[in-house]
Amino acid sequence: MADGMRTEPAHLPFPLRKNLSVDALSDRARETGPKTFEVIRRMFDEAKAEEQPMQTAGAILSIADIYSPQLLEKACDKALRQYHMPYYCCSANYLHPDSSH
C-alpha cells in the first residue's frame, strides 16, 4: 500500500488480475498443443514489451475452455499456415466447422 491507497483487484487489467505470467501462458499453450504454443510463442517473440500480448494470449487460450483444446489446436494450425502473426481474430475465424479458409 503506497500513500494509503490500494488498487482493487477487480480494477486491474486482465493479466494482472489473473496473476498470469508469460511462463504460465506459455505452459498452458504448450499443454494445449504445438500449434497453439507456436502462436503464443510468436506473439511474445514479436512484442515490443513482454506484457503487450498477454491479454490477447489469454483470449486465445480461453478458446480451449469455450470450445475444446482440439479445436483451438486445429484453428492455430490453419492460422499458422496463412499468417506470419496469427492473432486472436485470425484464429477465431477458423473455429467454425464450415470455415473453408
Task: Categorize the per-residue pLDDT at 10 as very low, low, confident or very high, splitting at 50, 70 and 90.
Answer: low
Beta-bridged to residue 50, according to DSSP, are: none
pLDDT tens readout for residues 49-86: 888 888 889 888 988 888 899 999 998 988 888 876 66
Query: Which residues are within 8 A (CB) of 28 and not within 5 positions of it... i.e. 6 or more apart?
Result: 61
pTM greater than the 0.85 cutoff: no
